[in-house]
């Protein structure tokens, strides 16, 4: 398995903080956001790819040299929010030379739980899988992907930002794809699969093959705007400042 971190966005909602600096490298608790994800990836595997845009590629390359893992920085060639490829096409780009299962995750999240159980679960059920968690706020469900599952954890429906959700299981941007499934991205795009949101491919794939969902065991902090970034940063501060 290899891990693919999606970090090619331009984070316009965080301007001016991210106008010339990538969101996944913003500090939280005294270290870049990607270092938090990297800690979990060390447990799941010691090699991963970071897909970024041309504007920030050099900054990610500099960051990669501070890490002990094998890291490949993939430049998707774009230099503005208007010309971005979209998350699904970035996954496709990163996986062109990968011939094994892939663990795909967004680079703007901080987790307080291990990724190992999710990887183990995916390998045990032998299907592509998504993470999920219960969410009972309707407005929150309308802004994310929502699934329903059967008693065995198999996905029975998958909605992207539904006005009327069929359930209360929200899907954050963490996916385990079997190699034979991730190679179907060109087929998905040809059939009209959305390419901007990373979950669009998972939603399409769930209609083509069996998939399972694993319930998160802890908290996930999603950094989408200035307010959420400040909230996460404050939550990782100790009595004498940042940890």
Between these two residues, 94 and 38, which has the higher pLDDT value? 94
Q: Cβ distance 147 to 167 under 8 Å?
A: yes
Lookup: tokens for 222: 């999603």
Report the candidate in 78, 87, 134 with the shortest Cα–Cα distance to residue 107. Answer: 87
Structure tokens at 106: 């967004």
Which residues are bridge partners to 110 per DSSP? 221
* C-alpha–C-alpha distance, residues 40 and 161, integer Å: 28
pLDDT bracket for residue 243 (50, 70, 90): very low
For residues 148 and 162, what is the distance between their CA atoms, to the nearest angstrom? 13
CB 34: neighbour CB atoms within 10 A? 26
- The SS3 call for residue 27 is strand
Question: Does 5 score more than 60 pLDDT?
Answer: yes
Q: Is 20 exposed, middle or buried (0-12, 13-18, 19+ CB in 10 A)?
A: exposed
In angstroms, how far is the first alpha carbon of the chain from the final one? 32
CA pair distance 191, 79, nearest whole angstrom: 27
| Contact predicate 188/204, CB 8 Å | yes
pLDDT over threshold 80, residue 239: no
Whether residue 237 is predicted with pLDDT greater than 90 in this model: the reply is no
To 10 degrees, the CA torsion angle through 42, 47, 48, 54? 120
Average pLDDT on 171-198 reads: 95
pLDDT at 204 over 80: yes
Domains, in order of start, for the chain: 2-242 (3.90.550.10)
Residue 23: which of 89, 94, 81, 96 has the closest Cα? 81
Instruction: Retrieve residue 39's tokens.
Output: 């800690």
For residue 3, pLDDT beyond 70: yes
Query: Could you report the per-residue pLDDT of 52-93, keeping only the tens digit for each?
Result: 999 999 999 999 999 888 899 999 999 999 999 999 999 999
Percent of the chain past pLDDT 90, that is, above it, reads: 74
Cβ contacts of 61-68, under 8 Å, gap ≥ 24:
63/25, 63/32, 63/34, 67/35, 67/38
Taking 60 as the threshold, does the pLDDT of residue 189 lie above it? yes
Higher per-residue pLDDT: 97 or 44: 97
- What pLDDT does 218 receive? 87
**CA-to-CA distance for 93 and 75, rounded, in angstroms?**
9
């Amino acid at each position: 398995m290899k891990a693919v971190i999606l970090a090619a966005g331009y984070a316009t909602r965080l301007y001016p903080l991210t106008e010339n600096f990538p969101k996944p490298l913003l500090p939280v608790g005294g270290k870049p956001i990607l270092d938090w994800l990297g800690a979990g990836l060390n447990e799941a595997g010691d090699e991963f790819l970071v897909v970024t845009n041309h504007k920030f590629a050099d900054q990610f390359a500099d960051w990669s040299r501070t890490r002990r893992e094998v890291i490949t920085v993939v430049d998707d060639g774009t230099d503005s929010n208007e010309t971005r490829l979209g998350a699904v096409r970035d996954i496709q780009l990163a996986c062109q030379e990968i011939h094994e299962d892939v663990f795909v995750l967004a680079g703007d999240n901080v987790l307080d739980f291990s990724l190992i159980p999710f990887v183990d679960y995916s390998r045990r059920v032998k299907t592509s899988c998504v993470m999920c968690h219960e969410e009972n706020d309707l407005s929150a469900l309308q802004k994310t992907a929502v699934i329903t599952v059967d008693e065995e954890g198999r996905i029975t429906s998958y909605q992207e930002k539904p006005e009327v959700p069929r359930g209360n299981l929200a899907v954050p941007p963490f996916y385990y794809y079997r190699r034979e499934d991730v190679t179907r991205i060109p087929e998905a795009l040809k059939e009209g699969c959305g390419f901007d949101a990373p979950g669009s491919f998972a939603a399409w794939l769930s209609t083509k093959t069996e998939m399972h969902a694993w319930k998160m065991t802890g908290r996930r902090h999603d950094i989408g705007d200035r307010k959420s970034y400040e909230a996460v940063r404050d939550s990782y501060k100790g009595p004498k400042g940042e940890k």
